[in-house]
Structure 1
Amino acid sequence: MKYHFEIHKEKKGYWAECIELEGCSTQADSRDELLENMKEALNLYLDEPEDSKIDFPLPKKRVKKVEQIVTVAVNSKVAFALLLRHARHEKKLSQTKMAKLLNYKSVFSYQKLESSKSANPTLLKVQRLKEVLPNLRLDLLFS
């Protein structure tokens, strides 16, 4: 999953802002440092607590191609948690309801899937998630 950042050059360095995520921005002295800072800023911005109600927009498929716009990949664990939360919100399901649909004994077991720090589902778990949430956009993890 990749978001788009617009890079701006200043007299003493650079700054960049994410096109899709208002308020996600960073700065640096060099362009190379800026690219690293954009990755860090993006992942920190999207890495919400598992009980968060914030639903960030997914990246745009296309943006104007200009030299100042670059794509920045989201960490796969952060992306998985974001996509899972997004799909659950689209279906208007609570974490408690998801835990029940997945036959979990506690909501905490489900919440771990929506946390980038603990999300590491098996293929069988991913298959079950896709059955419960057919709108889960796993393809975005690899694009």
Structure 2
Amino acid sequence: MAAEPAIWAIAPSHTYLLRHEVLWPDKPLDYVQLPEDAAGYHYGAFQDDQLVGVVSLFVDGDEARFRKFAVMPTYQRQGIGSALLRYVVAEARRLGARRLWCDARQDSAAFYARFHLQPEGAVFYKGDIPYVRMGVEL
């Protein structure tokens, strides 16, 4: 396992290349840019001074949603995603959220379940990729 990454706030634009490369490489770059990015909180995980993971958090009252969670493939399964998710949970709590949720790719649901997020509702699709909404009370 790699050393714990350094995590800090980054500009929304600094998330775009990693979002694109990891999540939607077959789509145009603007596909990974969200209209609400300016209102969100964006965090980067750095390993050896390189941005290797990103996640965006959107808080609405006492509910928070994280989106566009991506770790470079060569850095996956090294604890970086886990560190980012722990950070986002703590940030959501700090920002007053009592509930946290995401739309998870179905093949990542087991990862989120390790952090107590539970499936909510039926599987749905974005393009040909199956997703499930997952949430947790904070």
Fold-level match, TM-score > 0.5? no
TM normalised by structure 2 equals 0.26
Name which one, 1 or 2, has greater alpha-carbon Rg: 1
Larger proportion of helix = 1
TM normalised by structure 1 equals 0.26
Larger proportion of strand = 2
RCO higher in 1 or 2 (8 Å CA, sep ≥ 6)? 1
